[in-house]
Amino acid sequence: MPEFLIFTLSAAFASFGDVAGHERRGSWTWPGRSAILGLLAAAQGIRRDGDFAALDALRLAVAVFETGAPMRDYHTVQTVPTKEPKRPQSRPEALRQAGKAANTTITHRDYRTGVLFGVAVAGEGLHALAAALEAPAFHLYLGRKACPLNAPLSPWVGAAETPEAALRHLCLPPWAEGQTARTLYADAGLPGGAPERVETRHDAPLDRRLWHFAPRAVVTRGVEITPDPCEAP
């Protein structure tokens, strides 16, 4: 019987990436592979140019308890003409020189509010990962630094036949006790019930410095996961 590391992801605000354009940065409704591996790396103190080989070998499943509501933020971006008679020494000086010739555009940033997920991880080194989640080396957040977690991750490692079975041990926040996850997104090859569908998602990191991602197969399964109430510490 395989072992799984499970933990809770809960936040008031989250952003889970999407195809990144200049004018809009969208958000998926659930955290992908790159987001979860990045969170595990931050917990272990691994920087972007560090060794991710052990993390890249992990297999993941995400149970959706609450995708939250969409929220859009707006940013003003200014650019200046490239040809100036005198090269400015700073951005404020460049904007002053450009005056009305500066180009002003509005860009969009999408967020999700009030999200809740359970994550199951299969592979090697699960106990070390659990210890890192209990005392992370770097600050943990969901997508952007403006999106801190609002509940403990409560990691747990144990044997289970499927990710669904392992996630029944999940410790949900007090305000979410009794909630049921009805959708599970899993890496192909993880044990479990029959898939409802298989889709392709471009969130497997190829080059973390250049933000290049590869496609992967994601299995979607209908589930009914209602974790037992957490024991008092």
Residue-wise pLDDT for 12-31, tens only, equals 999 987 665 566 676 889 99
Q: Is the pLDDT of residue 171 over 90?
A: yes
Closest by CA to 58, choosing from 157, 144, 142, is: 157
What is the Cα–Cα distance from 38 to 40, expressed in whole angstroms? 5
Both tokens assigned to 117: 């997920």
What is the Cα–Cα distance from 194 to 200, expressed in whole angstroms? 17
**pLDDT (mean) for 169-181:** 96
Q: Whole-model pTM?
A: 0.85
**pLDDT (mean) for 106-134:** 94
What is the Cα–Cα distance from 209 to 122, expressed in whole angstroms? 26
- In the structure, what pLDDT confidence band is assigned to residue 80 with cuts at 50, 70 and 90? low
pLDDT at residue number 100: 61
